[in-house]
Chain A
Amino acid sequence: AQRVTQPEKLLSVFKGAPVELKCNYSYSGSPELFWYVQYSRQRLQLLLRHISRESIKGFTADLNKGETSFHLKKPFAQEEDSAMYYCALIQGAQKLVFGQGTRLTINP
């Protein structure tokens, strides 16, 4: 069965420090993975997708098929990065399987 695991429910780092939010998946086939973010008092929104290979708000994520991981990274955390982050994979057309989420807190 397709599954997404985010091992850390909470992650706290200081401003300017590197950030890595972990995501592991189980999927038979070629997965397509995404990171969604929910800032305080805002709705859930797409942050980035692995096929785009882009950096959004300084975040990048590399798909590692050998380790079945899709960790989200940012070299220098900013206070506005504090949010809830969800890793997800797509199962069929526009149907997402989400992880449990990681609450990231950036301390000043």
Chain B
Amino acid sequence: ETGVTQSPTHLIKTRGQQVTLRCSSQSGHNTVSWYQQALGQGPQFIFQYYREEENGRGNFPPRFSGLQFPNYSSELNVNALELDDSALYLCASSLSTSGNTGELFFGEGSRLTVL
């Protein structure tokens, strides 16, 4: 069974640039969620994708967008980067049929630094 994988693991961008982060969900999982974890904080929900559609969104501006592909992998795109976007971005996968079990399987994250 393959776990959640994310790429890249680290990257550095400058203000105003755009970034794309990628995530492969755990084998058999059809739902992908993205979280932002600032230094010293808990993960904060950005959005969730199910069957290639956005299925819920947290308190993040529209410049945060995403995609889910037919193989359930996902991308997180952030446009017009700001300094405060510097954080660890976590991808988590789950099975929609597991209802509200709350068990998400996390990747190791992509650490973004915006200069």
Q: Which residues of A contact B (CB under 8 A)?
A: 4, 6, 9, 32, 34, 43-46, 49, 86, 88, 90-101
A98 touches B42 (CB 8 A): yes
B55 touches A93 (CB 8 A): yes
A99 touches B42 (CB 8 A): yes
B43 touches A94 (CB 8 A): no
Specify which of B41, B44, B56 is in contact with A92 (CB 8 Å cutoff).
B56
B106 in the interface (beta carbon within 8 A): yes
Complex Cα distance, B47 from A94, in Å, reads 11
Q: Chain A contacts of B4 at CB under 8 A?
A: 43
Q: Chain B contacts of A4 at CB under 8 A?
A: 42
B96 touches A94 (CB 8 A): yes
Of B4, B41, B103, B107, which is in contact with the most chain A CB atoms at under 10 Å from its CB? B103
Closest chain A CB from B26 CB (angstroms): 11
B104 touches A100 (CB 8 A): no
A96 touches B45 (CB 8 A): yes
Specify which of A34, A93, A100 is in contact with B42 (CB 8 Å cutoff).
A100
Q: Check A86/B99 contact, CB under 8 A, given A94-B104, A95-B48.
A: no
Specify which of A43, A88, A92, A95 is in contact with B108 (CB 8 Å cutoff).
A43
B48 touches A94 (CB 8 A): yes
B101 touches A49 (CB 8 A): yes
Supply 25 A–B pairs (Cβ within 8 Å), ascending by A.
A34-B102, A43-B3, A43-B106, A43-B109, A46-B104, A49-B101, A86-B43, A91-B45, A93-B55, A93-B100, A94-B48, A94-B94, A94-B98, A94-B101, A94-B102, A94-B104, A95-B48, A95-B56, A96-B102, A96-B104, A97-B45, A98-B42, A98-B43, A100-B41, A101-B41
Complex Cα distance, B42 from A6, in Å, reads 10
Q: A46-B104, A88-B102, A94-B100 are in contact. List 9 more A-B contacts (CB 8 A).
A: A43-B107, A49-B103, A94-B31, A94-B94, A94-B101, A94-B102, A95-B48, A95-B58, A100-B40
Q: Chain A contacts of B48 at CB under 8 A?
A: 93-95
Specify which of A43, A86, A95, A101 is in contact with B45 (CB 8 Å cutoff).
A95
